[in-house]
Amino acid sequence: NGSNYMVSKMSREAMREVIAGPIKTIGAEIDDDLVELLVDEVSNPDHQLPILQHALMRTWMRWKELNEPDRPIDFSDYFAIGTIRDAVSRHADEIYEKLSGTEKKICERLFKNITGSGPDNKGIRLPSTIRDLRSSVQCEYDELINVVEKFRDPSISLLTPHYSVPLNDNSVIDLSHESIILLWSRLRQWVTEESASVQMYLRLSESSSLYQQGKAGLLKQPDLQLALNWRDQNKPTLSWAVKYDPAFERAMVFLRTSEKEFLESEERKVRQTKWRLRKIRMISSILGGLAILAGLITLISLGLKFSADKQRRTIEEQKKEAETREMVAEEHASAALMRSMLSDSAAAAARREHDAEKVMRLRAENEIISGRKQFEYVVRESENAIREGMLARMMADSALRLKEETGRLRMISLAKSMSLRSLQLPLQDELQPLLAYQAYLFNRDNTGSRNDADIYAGLYNLAKNRGSSKIRNFSAPASPVGNIAFIPGKNEFFSSDSRGNILRWDMDAGDKSFRVVYSGDEVVDVMAVSPGSDWLAFGKKDNAIGMIPVEGNEQGFELKGHSGKIRSLVFSYDGRYLYSAALDGRVLKWDLTARTSTDVGTGGIMVTSVVLSLNNDYMAGISDRGKGIVWGTGMKDRKLTIESEGKKILNIRFKPDDDRIAVGYDDGTIELWDAALGEKISGFKAHQGAVSDIRFNGNNRQMATAGSDGSLKLWDTDDLSAAPVTFTDNEGVVISCDFSHDGAMILSAVASEKPRIIARPAFADTFAADGCTYVTRNFTPEEWIAYVGKDIAYEETCAGADDHRIRIRQIR
């Protein structure tokens, strides 16, 4: 029977039955909240049933592997397989990663040959026979069949024909459905790359045709480099090219001719550059001479200043002498006047003497005026010389600062390069710790970023491979970890699991040293500890809030007021109140002394998660539709709505030291908003999967984000454009994370085959404190030149490391 049957659109109730019915039939249970989430996520009608079927199959297999028949299928199982969004992609990636290096290349070329982009840039299928694929992929028959069979496996069935149909050279290989292109992220990337490759080939073929007709010239940069990169990376073949344009040989000859012409042109430029360098060296020599001349002018100017000062003192002495003479002349004139009264002849003589003295006085005054003018001239020339000297010194200082800054940036770049190189060396190589630790020292001494991602990666790799106690794994009996919460002011934290247990851990004790503080039969997935470290609050299955004393023998109690499951708990910063949000959409403020509650929600909007700002002026929550809502006394009568079309907010968190909010979406995007201004500050792609948690490191300007893609990242909140410290060795989905009370450690709860909590230092400084314990010797002069540079002064990475090594050998 080759008939087709159109399935009508299913109602939400029918969808619930499709999901839960088969599971209940075999005697298992599935979490009701998970069912609701699945119904919401398959609301898009495109190919929903096949996608849902695959996701449920993978979730079921994951639950069966854990062998916990008494536990219902819950969120930890669902998130572990990647959710509906990523289940197919993750399954296909698992198959791909199991392939050998050669098989991976065959796989990539295979899928690139049977997929492509249509006129509207949507992915389309391009079925092809085994014979044609062998020619395009350039591999043996058995190698190609082996790869095809892995993707025809009944557990995934990405390729047709069906697994039961034997293959031969005439068999047509095709995708089982076009939606696979949308579902498998790696395939989407391949389709994009293949489309770009085809476009590059077609442009190259068209250019070669125009060149052959004399209507265009050879390729120039940057088009030539793009074409050469395409040729070297894709290694196109005739059998591949003829599907798009048969003029393959013409295009390749055109490309080789363009490359040859470019290389010859570059050689000519090199010769011209050498001539210019010689010219620059000549100019530099001249400028150097001018700089020396400027220095000499400065010295001469200072000499002139000293000479002018000496002349000024001489002139002042001459002025005083002239004034003395004038006084003597006046005395003589007075005496002459007296004598004139006695005798006319004496008077005449006195007048002559007075006239002579007057002439002498006028001459002295002229000398004083001339000396003053000469002094003023010398002072002006001295000041001009001083100004020129100061300008020369300012230019020299500016050049020196520029040189120092260039050198500093160069050393930071060298440090990053050395750290990355250490990652490529074998574990036992003595150079690995040398490169990693010396890179840290260069970065620190040149005021590089405190937690540079490359520097941290080198030290983290070193510490991890050498079994450092700074990296710890806290593991309890196998059960998925749900949440973690630190006790303020202490080196202890609580964790919950899917079996209803709450465990208390001491980070100063052993990795398996824990104490059970609560044991129930419900999944505890939300906890909070009061700022005074006196109460632990957690959500219970009967929609109540459990309160347990952190210390002492005080009696615990329950708070009841919600009609839906508790999804969020947060204490006020003074510890007097507890805020709760639940699936009933209400936000309650609990007076812990009176044990009464007040509804502080937004009124018409159902809020299922809530957080507080530092001064309690703002509250932020997530609505049942995945939107962010900000309200409170700081907003007066208005509300701020945060949303992005086609995406849902999964996490929201206030920055402790101000009113900024970080929100995490289901597509891995992070956004920062200013609550006071109601404006978006920035947004960026943080993860390839959903954002599962966001945490801020107190006042340490650090933000941690966890994702369903299995990664944990540490961001610098002062520079979110800088590359984050990234941990991809979690071997599972990172469900939650939190910083220790002092901000020195970052903990992450991982859901995997071996559930555990991983503790790592938040800053590279912690690893660097042990740097010299891993270093067994210093660089040899030859190694220093090879890895650091000939023009950088040699220094010991660890003082006495070589002597210590020699003593060990002598003892042996």
The pLDDT confidence band at residue 347, using thresholds 50, 70 and 90, is low
Long-range contacts of 502-510 (CB under 8 A, 24+ apart): 502/527, 502/536, 502/538, 502/548, 503/476, 505/474, 505/757, 507/472, 507/740, 507/745, 507/759
CB atoms within 10 A of CB 352: 11
The pLDDT confidence band at residue 804, using thresholds 50, 70 and 90, is very low
Cα 661 to Cα 504: distance, rounded to the nearest angstrom:
30
Cα 128 to Cα 242: distance, rounded to the nearest angstrom:
14
Helix (H, G, I), strand (E, B) or coil at 155: coil
- Residue 621's nearest CA partner among 546, 679, 684, 567 is 567
Helix (H, G, I), strand (E, B) or coil at 352: helix
- Residue 434's nearest CA partner among 449, 456, 419 is 419
Cα 621 to Cα 643: distance, rounded to the nearest angstrom:
12
pLDDT tens digits along 73-100: 888 888 888 877 788 888 888 889 999 9
**Above 70 in pLDDT, residue 308?**
no
Helices (H), 423-452: 431-445
**Backbone torsions φ then ψ of 725, nearest 5 degrees:** -70, 125
**Above 60 in pLDDT, residue 188?**
yes
Cα 390 to Cα 523: distance, rounded to the nearest angstrom:
75
Cα 294 to Cα 620: distance, rounded to the nearest angstrom:
65
Length of the chain: 812
- Which range is most confident: 134-138, 400-404, 568-572? 568-572
Cα 535 to Cα 543: distance, rounded to the nearest angstrom:
19
Q: Are 492 and 506 in contact (CB under 8 A)?
A: yes
Confidence (pLDDT) at 6:
61
pLDDT tens digits along 518-546: 988 887 889 999 999 999 999 998 899 99
Confidence (pLDDT) at 4:
59
Confidence (pLDDT) at 2:
55
Q: Are 361 and 331 in contact (CB under 8 A)?
A: no
**Above 50 in pLDDT, residue 564?**
yes
Which residue's structure tokens are 């014979």? 131
Report the DSSP pairing between strands 619-623 and 628-631.
antiparallel
Question: CA of 75: how far to CAs of 64, 119, 435, 753, in Å?
Answer: 15, 40, 43, 15
513 CB-near residues (< 8 Å, 6+ apart): 505, 506
**Backbone torsions φ then ψ of 238, nearest 5 degrees:** -60, -45
Cis? peptide before 781, omega within 30° of 0? no
Cα 6 to Cα 575: distance, rounded to the nearest angstrom:
59
Q: Are 483 and 524 in contact (CB under 8 A)?
A: yes
Mean predicted confidence (pLDDT) in 576-590: 93
Q: What percentage of residues in the chain have a pLDDT greater than 70?
A: 91
What is the average pLDDT value for the chain, to the nearest integer? 84
Whether this model's pTM surpasses 0.85:
no
pLDDT tens digits along 11-51: 778 878 878 888 888 888 888 888 888 887 776 555 567 77
Domain limits, the chain: 12-81, 90-164+173-246, 255-400
Instruction: Give the least confident one: 78-87, 297-306, 489-498, 724-733.
Output: 297-306
Cα 269–chain centre separation: 39
**Above 60 in pLDDT, residue 373?**
yes
Cα 551 to Cα 384: distance, rounded to the nearest angstrom:
79
Confidence (pLDDT) at 244:
82
Helix (H, G, I), strand (E, B) or coil at 607: strand
pLDDT tens digits along 196-212: 888 888 988 888 888 87
Indicate the residue type of 625.
Answer: R
**Above 50 in pLDDT, residue 307?**
yes
Indicate the residue type of 781.
Answer: P
Computed on alpha carbons and rounded to an integer, the radius of gyration of the chain in Å comes to 41
Mean predicted confidence (pLDDT) in 585-609: 90
- Residue 610's nearest CA partner among 550, 551, 567 is 567
Q: What percentage of residues in the chain have a pLDDT greater than 90?
A: 31
The answer to whether the Cα torsion of 461, 462, 463, 466 is positive or negative is: positive
Confidence (pLDDT) at 531:
92
pLDDT tens digits along 756-777: 899 999 999 999 999 899 898 9
More confident residue, 365 or 466: 466
**Above 80 in pLDDT, residue 181?**
yes
What are 463's two structure tokens?
């510490």
Helix (H, G, I), strand (E, B) or coil at 537: strand
Q: Are 762 and 697 in contact (CB under 8 A)?
A: yes
Helix (H, G, I), strand (E, B) or coil at 551: coil
646 CB-near residues (< 8 Å, 6+ apart): none
Cis? peptide before 755, omega within 30° of 0? no
**Above 70 in pLDDT, residue 811?**
no
Cα 152 to Cα 144: distance, rounded to the nearest angstrom:
12
Confidence (pLDDT) at 587:
93
CB atoms within 10 A of CB 445: 13
Confidence (pLDDT) at 812:
30
CB atoms within 10 A of CB 788: 21
Helix (H, G, I), strand (E, B) or coil at 682: strand
Confidence (pLDDT) at 337:
62
